[in-house]
Amino acid sequence: MKFFIDTANLEQIKEAHDLGILDGVTTNPSLMAKEGIKGSEAVMKHYVDICEMVEGDISAEVISTDFDGIVAEGLVLAALHKNIVVKVPMIKDGVKAIKYFTDKGIRTNCTLIFSAGQAILAAKAGATYVSPFIGRVDDMGADGVELIYQIRRIFDIQGYKTEILAASIRNALHIIKCAEAGADVCTCPLDSILGLLKHPLTDSGLAKFLEDAKKFA
């Protein structure tokens, strides 16, 4: 399973990258706004900065909701850097735009996926990635990880090449469960990635080793 970081924060991207496990980055308008980036020039520069930090797929999201607008925005984003993946929402014009981009060889990430039916449509349109939002599914009282299992089964049966990019990850357990469910990629906040490091027996075991090492130092 590939690890992407789900942030537009350059310090956090650097920290995950320095860990040596980072395969890519996903952003969205909320994450960009959180960094206080204003104006399309600054937004474009920020995407390029991220592309220069991480060698891997970088998702940049369109904010238009009509076919012509999505296509115009996506072409600009795709031209910024070879690693940009155009992130398109799961709406009717979004599906049409994904097919357009697929035919042009431009890679896409279909975002805001909450059902297997949506994932099937995006895969049929040729999306490179589908992004099921598992944390938000959990928030509704349903099972986000079960959605990953279901999409995995369907994609395997149907032979769809679209990668399942588990998104809206809230904790380390989500990452483990997504790996178990067969997600191709998990995009995570830095805290959830770092949460994988933690175990109290590791901490107490290391403390004991270091204590005992003093006996022969």
Please give the residue ranges that form the binding site for ligand G3P (CB under 6 A): 6, 26, 28, 133, 135-136, 167-168, 187
3-class DSSP string for 59-89:
EEECCCCCHHHHHHHHHHHHHHCCCEEEEEE
Between 83 and 109, whose beta carbon lies closer to ligand G3P? 109
Between 100 and 114, whose beta carbon lies closer to ligand G3P? 114
Strands 163-166 and 185-188: parallel
* Beta-carbon contacts of residue 76 (< 8 Å; ≥ 6 apart): 44
Between 85 and 100, whose beta carbon lies closer to ligand G3P? 85
86: nearest Cα among 30, 119, 126: 126
Strands 163-166 and 84-89: unpaired
Residue whose structure tokens are 């290391």: 206
At closest approach, how far in Å is the CB of 150 from ligand G3P?
A: 19
Quick check: helix, strand or coil at residue 5? strand
At closest approach, how far in Å is the CB of 156 from ligand G3P?
A: 23
* Beta-carbon contacts of residue 54 (< 8 Å; ≥ 6 apart): 13, 17, 22, 24, 25, 83
At closest approach, how far in Å is the CB of 4 from ligand G3P?
A: 9
156 within 8 A of 119, measured Cβ to Cβ? no
Between 32 and 123, whose beta carbon lies closer to ligand G3P? 32
Between 128 and 187, whose beta carbon lies closer to ligand G3P? 187
Write out the two tokens for 31: 């994450």
Instruction: Give the C-alpha separation, 63 to 59, whole Å.
Output: 13
Catalytic residue among 14, 38, 87, 104: 87
Residue 87: active-site member? yes
At closest approach, how far in Å is the CB of 140 from ligand G3P?
A: 11
At closest approach, how far in Å is the CB of 12 from ligand G3P?
A: 13
Q: Cite the active site residues.
A: 87
